[in-house]
Amino acid sequence: MPGRRWRAPGRRRGAGAASVPAVEIRVFWPLAFPCHSRRVTDSATRLLNWYAGHARTLPWRSPPGAPLPADPDWPYRVWLSEIMLQQTTVAAVQPYFTAFTARWPDVAALAAADDADVMQAWAGLGYYARARNLLACARAVVRDHGGRFPGDEAVLRSLPGIGDYTAAAVAAFGFGRHAIVIDGNVERVTTRLFAIATPLPAARAVIRSRLAALVPAAAGDFAQAMMDLAGRICTPRAPRCEACPLRPDCAAAAAGNPEEYPVKPPRRARPVRHGTTWWIEAGGAVLTVVRPARGLLGGMRALPSCDWQGKAAPPLPGDWHDLGTVSHGFTHFALQLQVLGQRLATRPALDGDWLPISQLDGAGLPTLFAKAAVLARSQPDRMEAR
């Protein structure tokens, strides 16, 4: 099968400094697209060369062109990062990743962790079903795979919380397998490169077909390069086409309309729900509860709250003070949450735990209830003890 070599930049011999060994990757191209083979080869090579000089240094990523770490727990770190990065930025994930890997350095340690500890450590990352799936997946790997992640995409997809993207990412980044890794960043670059006018999500079949002809043997580096390119140059708005290594081949750049891609269907307005949460304070402590395991924010510590479908009876009678409303967006709806507060002289007998107000910041409250707590604490004079 014909091939092309990609060589990571190093100093030329005789340049007055010690020679840096070049990293060589042999990139193979499918023969099913002979009329596009030159363009495909050049595009991938230019992208990999750009990546060699611009790759971000991240704790879950091996350097471009380098062999994967020999650490048997490397796939665990890749998997953990990919779950955390879903719907979350790299900047937000890095401190969580550092804390998780320090506390649970391998999949066996995570599998043995207490659910409440993991949920508390996850607080602030959002999309809390990911944390529940994190535990379920870790326990499945220990139970069914001897504590080692499988490298096969199909087997990975059978694990809790792992879909097509994550399976491909773990296979490519964790095991060096040839896999087509497609996330929103890769979709944006690919639709612009080939001016794919089919709206998402229907365009995904076309995107995969195009990438099948483009992804080289160095699939992990290629996918990471696409993601870094999307984050730094091929941005959703105001892409820096003049600095893009793919510009010579980019159909959208040639047409002068890269921001029109990817084509998305008309956005539906998110419905707005209304709910109530209750701040019950007594003796310098506030009542907290653990939400049901299933459902939004399942298993998380929270303030007492209704089901967010409308009005509900408060946990106890009395004169409730309206402290205001906090807004929060979920994937499928926006929530307007009214915060009602009451300060009591003694603690009533209610289900839940009384947590010192001074410890709330480290209690692992999800963002919604952290907002409500900030609102309540900002106006102590609004509540009177009775």
The set of catalytic residues is 82
CA distance 116 to 60: 25
Biggest alpha carbon distance in the chain? 84
Residue 235, both tokens? 């941005």
- Here the contacts of 133-142 (C-beta below 8 Å, separation 24 or greater) are 133/83, 133/160, 133/161, 134/80, 134/83, 134/110, 134/161, 135/110, 135/111, 136/160, 136/161, 137/79, 137/83, 137/161, 137/162, 138/107, 138/110, 138/111, 139/111, 141/107, 141/111, 142/107, 142/108, 142/111
CA distance 85 to 114: 22
Contact in structure between 321 and 334 (CB atoms under 8 Å)? no
* Cα–Cα nearest to 221, from 86, 22, 81, 27: 27
16's CB contacts (< 8 A; 6+ apart) are none
> What SS3 class is residue 348?
coil
In angstroms, how far is the first alpha carbon of the chain from the final one? 82
271 CB neighbour count, 10 Å cutoff: 8
CA distance 118 to 107: 13
Tokens 């600095």: give the residue. 243
* Cα–Cα nearest to 201, from 211, 213, 193, 191: 191
The CA-CA-CA angle for residues 2, 6, 12, to 5°, reads 135
In this structure, what are the phi and psi dihedrals at residue 307, rounded to the nearest 5 degrees? -90, 10
The CA-CA-CA angle for residues 341, 344, 348, to 5°, reads 105
